[in-house]
């Protein structure tokens, strides 16, 4: 367990990165083993009411062609992923109010009848919505805090409220979801100290899943002239999170692979134990452009899975056959 000062020192000093990554890899092995959980990600709508400055899906981006999958279409994507062996489906979208509480509940109950774990990642909703989704069987919810620096949060999310984000996270936690959080590394104006605070916040929340990725500049956003986040710094924040939260699930994020061609394998050897392959149809994937250069796997999800299995085997890892809840 590191104190804040130690976290800051580790983040600032690059002379012992190798030892840090090896330590995180050992903690991962001891606490969650060598099997990787694959989560089939369905990006079902890129329509969004928010204006997050870093995100390509923001409402003001008129260049993006928008799409919205019908409930039947979403369910059929999920079925294909389950047939290909996926044990977890993640439904992610912009904050699209077309998917009302009732529409979501119908989708949730259909997908839950396939005997898999279901994760939602659809942004801020009311307590009542979260409760209903949970009652209909949703197991997990991902909602990154993005940054715990309240001032930076306000700058990055002009029409949102930091306190409400926190409230949503605690509502999710209290309803008994496995709670996923996380942050962006390298937002303009973000300090190292605030990244240390992010990690301490994950610990305080006792998050079950943490996704950490570098910020990647999108040309059609107000941050188009900013610089990309740093891959190594994101990797270090992830490694420290593994060491501090031990048995949680940590994805090797797609954003890491976007900045480094071998990024996900490196992440899997530095504390991560989850991959979230995209199982949406190819044409939708291109339009779900939260940032440019997002890697998109083979359009044949079975082929992609086999290919991943080979790659994982080469680093001594396997694909888990379980639902992949947090280990006790
Ligand atoms: N609407 C949902 C899903 C958001 S997209 C929600 O609000 O939770 C999932 C994640 O992508 C975000 O939480 C954010 O951390 C990340 N993201 C968005 N834009 C990005 C960018 N330009 N670079 C890297 N990651 C980004």
Query: Whose CA is closest to atom 8 on ligand 1?
Result: 123
The torsion of the CA quartet 327, 80, 311, 21, rounded to 10 degrees, works out to -40
161 C-alpha vs ligand 1 centroid, how far in Å?
16
What's the length of the chain?
A: 328
234 Cβ inside 6 Å of ligand 1: no
222 C-alpha vs ligand 1 centroid, how far in Å?
15
C-alpha distances in Å from residue 144, one per residue of 15, 211, 260 = 30, 8, 22
List, for residues 67-101, the tens digit of each pLDDT value.
Answer: 999 999 999 999 999 999 999 999 999 999 999 99
Give the percent of the chain with pLDDT over 90.
Answer: 93
189 C-alpha vs ligand 1 centroid, how far in Å?
18
Query: Whose CA is closest to atom 12 on ligand 1?
Result: 144
Mean pLDDT of the chain: 96
- State how far the Cα of 89 lies from the Cα of 93, in Å rounded to an integer: 13
Confidence of residue 300 (pLDDT cuts 50, 70, 90): confident
pLDDT of residue 295: 74
Residue 288's H or E segment, with its range, is: none
110 Cβ inside 6 Å of ligand 1: no
Nearest CA to 300 out of 287, 276, 282, 318 is that of 282
Q: 1 pLDDT exceeds 90?
A: no
List, for residues 179-234, the tens digit of each pLDDT value.
Answer: 999 999 999 999 999 999 999 999 999 999 999 999 999 999 999 999 999 999 99
- State how far the Cα of 102 lies from the Cα of 110, in Å rounded to an integer: 13
192 C-alpha vs ligand 1 centroid, how far in Å?
20
pLDDT of residue 161: 98
Question: What residue ranges define each of the domains in the chain, with the CATH number in brackets?
Answer: 4-319 (3.20.20.70)
pLDDT of residue 282: 85
- State how far the Cα of 40 lies from the Cα of 37, in Å rounded to an integer: 10
288 Cβ inside 6 Å of ligand 1: no
| Ligand 1 closest atom vs CA 291 | 22
The model's pTM is: 0.98
List, for residues 135-172, the tens digit of each pLDDT value.
Answer: 999 999 999 999 999 999 999 999 999 999 999 999 99
290 C-alpha vs ligand 1 centroid, how far in Å?
6
91 Cβ inside 6 Å of ligand 1: no
List, for residues 207-217, the tens digit of each pLDDT value.
Answer: 999 999 999 99
pLDDT of residue 227: 98
């Amino acid at each position: 367990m590191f104190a804040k000062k130690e976290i800051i020192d580790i983040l600032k000093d690059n002379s012992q990165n190798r030892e840090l990554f090896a330590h995180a890899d050992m903690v991962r092995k001891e606490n969650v083993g060598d099997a990787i959980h694959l989560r089939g990600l369905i990006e079902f709508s890129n329509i969004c009411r928010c204006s997050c400055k870093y995100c390509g899906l923001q409402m003001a981006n008129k260049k993006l062609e928008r799409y919205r999958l019908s409930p039947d279409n979403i369910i059929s994507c999920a079925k294909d992923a389950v047939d290909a062996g996926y044990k977890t489906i993640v439904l992610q979208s912009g904050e699209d109010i077309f998917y009302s509480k009732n529409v979501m509940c119908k989708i949730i109950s259909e997908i839950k009848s396939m005997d898999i774990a279901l994760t939602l990642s659809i942004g801020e909703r009311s307590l009542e919505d979260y409760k209903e989704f949970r009652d209909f069987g949703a197991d997990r919810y991902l909602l990154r805090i993005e940054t715990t620096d309240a001032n930076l949060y306000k700058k990055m999310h002009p029409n949102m409220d930091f306190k409400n984000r926190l409230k949503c996270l605690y509502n999710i936690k209290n309803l008994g979801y496995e709670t996923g959080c996380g942050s962006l590394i390298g937002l303009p104006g973000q300090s190292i100290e605030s990244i240390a605070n992010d990690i301490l916040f994950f610990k305080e929340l006792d998050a079950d899943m943490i996704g950490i990725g570098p910020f990647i500049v999108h040309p059609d956003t107000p941050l188009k002239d900013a610089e990309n986040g740093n891959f190594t710094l994101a990797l270090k924040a992830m490694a420290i999170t593994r060491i501090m939260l031990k048995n949680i699930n940590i994805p090797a994020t797609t954003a890491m692979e976007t900045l480094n061609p071998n990024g996900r394998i490196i992440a899997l050897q530095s504390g991560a134990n989850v991959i979230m392959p995209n199982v949406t149809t190819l044409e939708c994937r291109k339009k779900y452009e939260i940032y440019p250069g997002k890697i998109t796997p083979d359009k044949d999800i079975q082929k992609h899975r086999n290919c991943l299995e080979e790659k994982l085997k080469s680093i001594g890892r396997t694909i888990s056959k379980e639902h992949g809840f947090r280990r006790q």
